[in-house]
Amino acid sequence: MSAVTSSLSKRQEKDLLSLFSHARLHLLYKASIHGFTAAAFHGRCDRQGPTIIVAYNAAGFVFGAYTSKDYAQSGQAVSDGTAFLYSISAERNKPLRVGSISGKHAFTDGGPGPNFGALVFLHEDKPAVQSNPGDCFNFQEAEMHGNDLALTEFEVYRVEGLGDLLEKPWRNIQWTSERKQQLMTSIQNYLPEIKAVNQARVLLVGPVGAGKSSFFNSINSAFRGNMTCQAITGTARTSVTTQYRAYTIKTGRRGGTLPLILCDTMGLEENADSGLNVDDIVSIFKGHMKDRYQFSSCSSILEDSPGYQKHVTLNDTIHCLAYVIDTCKVSLLSQKMLDKLTAIRKRANQLGIPQILLMTKVDEACPLVAKDLKNVYRSVYIQEKARQLSDSLGIPLSYVLPVKNYSEELELDQNTDILLFMVLEQMLNYADSYFENQITDDQDGSNGPELYRSIDPRQVVSQRDEPKIV
């Protein structure tokens, strides 16, 4: 199936956003993919809050309708004082905007395609518009759609207001070179609480395209001092990552290894028979999956599978789980995806694995953050999405951390590094919580619940404590 992407050009998207005050658009429905039918429209657009219709024709017009009300197939005439029709064309410097006729309703909320009186979209379940100027809205047909009522494409977007900046940030961050260096030193000098463990092991889990591999590359770049691309990344409908990878991180090109392993996985997908499955995740939790195991969406790893590790130590298990979610898609997470994430969270809880949630692409989600990354904890929109994720997944807000990965940059950025390092620091803090809950045999072989401070991971470990190499 083709990837569901917007057909708007950059200029058209800019013109469309100019009709609102500080908003962003989320694509809900694309007729060429989902079908030019009323049923397909209602299946994806009902009860989505404020939405805008974007219709395309061969005459080069982009036109449609906005309403702040829900589509609900109530059969009622819906009033909406903020509703409007619009048209964008290359011949105009700015969009045409048409408000409803005074005293008239905005649209009829029925089962057929969206009916704004003057414009009825998906007329008779076809890629066509019925034009009736003067019915609820008044316009010149040549200006609205160039008298071309056949559609080449039809899309619907959710319109989300971004709000303004908070007077005070909801978290206080020191955006200084001293703070960056402090975080780097703290991470490099970290020692796990248990002697037999040399590196904290963190698993990254999230939907396809959320930025798991990019997060590792960004961390690796920040510590190496230059851009790296060790983990494969890209844009695709299915996961680019097909293997389980356990990545170590070096400080500088010939530096030592950090006391941290980031484990990358295949992306999660909605359907049970595609993407990474929960059984494989549990095997990773318990340390049974070897590095470079090739995932299969058809079956999970078995004890006799190549890449299954039967004998594991505390070094092999996962010490912290990090969910990775694209901030731009928080509102679009389906119930199936939320259910899958909830199932993973339940299994992690049963194994006592601490969990953290990373909100990636914060700069793409909020223009104020794109303008200045230091606005990340002052953005009303980012705070709202963090709270939404916290509520949806049952994760405390204090465990939700916004982050920006390196994507198109060629040079490192201090503020980006600070956000990245803050995430690593929290991962190590939560890994310590995991270690503190473990009961280990003491060095004499007794069963007392005694914990041992690890040796420096930069030193050579003894044969007894050496983790198994996979």
Residue 449 corresponds to which amino acid? Answer: P
**Between the CA of residue 38 and those of 21, 43, 71, 105, 112, what are the distances in Å?**
30, 8, 12, 21, 5
Across the range 51-63, mean pLDDT stands at 97
pLDDT higher than threshold 50 for residue 406: yes
pLDDT at 242: 75
Across the range 21-48, mean pLDDT stands at 94
pLDDT higher than threshold 70 for residue 458: no
Q: What is the 3-state secondary structure (H, E, C) of 302-329?
A: CCCCCCECCCCCCCCCCCEEEEEEEHHH
Residue 359 corresponds to which amino acid? Answer: M
CATH topology of domain 177-436: Rossmann fold (3.40.50)
pLDDT at 437: 87
Distance CA 126, CA 149 (A): 11
Who's near 97: CB < 8 A, 6+ residues apart?
19, 84, 85, 86
32, 147 contact by CB (below 8 A):
no
Across the range 143-166, mean pLDDT stands at 94
Least confident of 126-135, 244-253, 256-265, 443-452: 443-452
Q: Domain-by-domain residue ranges, the chain?
A: 10-161, 177-436
pTM of the predicted protein model: 0.73
Convert the pLDDT of each residue in 288-345 to its tens digit.
988 888 877 667 777 778 878 888 899 999 999 999 999 998 988 888 999 999 999 9
Helix (H/G/I), strand (E/B), else coil: 235: coil
pLDDT at 466: 40
184, 223 contact by CB (below 8 A):
yes
Q: What is the CA radius of gyration of the chain?
A: 26
